[in-house]
Amino acid sequence: MPCIKCLSADDVIVVTGGAGFIGSRIVCDLAELGFRVVISDLLWSGDKWRNIAAARLYDLVRPDNLSEWLGRHADKVAAVVHMAAISSTTETDVDRFVANNIRLTLDLWEWCAANATRFIYASSAATYGDGTAGFSDVESPAALAALRPLNAYGWSKHVVDRRVVEDVVRGRPCPPQWAGLKFFNVYGPNEAHKGDMQSVVAKVYPTIKAGDTVTLFKSHNPRYRDGGQLRDFVYVKDCLAVVRWLLQNPKVTGLFNVGTGAARSFLDLVDAVGAAAGCLPKVRFIETPAELRDKYQYFTQADITKLRAAGFDQPFHSLEEGVRDFVHCLRSAG
| Residue type at position 245 | W
Query: Of 128, 153, 205, 235, which one is the catalytic site residue?
Result: 153
Question: Does the annotation mark 194 as catalytic?
Answer: yes
First-residue to last-residue Cα distance in the chain: 33
What pairs with residue 234 in β-bridges? 186
Beta strands in 96-200 (DSSP E): 118-124, 178-183, 185-187
Residues 85, 313, 145, 299, Cα dihedral to 10°: -80
Closest to 124 (Cα-Cα) out of 22, 272, 277: 22
Residues in the chain: 334
Question: Does the annotation mark 153 as catalytic?
Answer: yes
Closest to 149 (Cα-Cα) out of 166, 168, 132, 174: 132
Contact 219, 287 (CB under 8 A): no
Q: How many CB atoms lie within 10 A of CB 49?
A: 15
CA 14, 20, 25, 29 torsion: positive or negative?
A: positive
Query: Of 194, 218, 237, 306, which one is the catalytic site residue?
Result: 194
Q: How far is CA 182 from CA 123, 160, 219, 256, 268, in A?
A: 5, 12, 25, 6, 23
Helix segments in 230-318, DSSP class H: 236-248, 266-277, 290-293, 305-309
CA 118, 22, 108, 303 torsion: positive or negative?
A: positive
How many Å apart are CA 3 and CA 76, to the nearest integer? 18
How many Å apart are CA 135 and CA 123, to the nearest integer? 13
Residues annotated as catalytic (active site), given as ranges:
153, 194
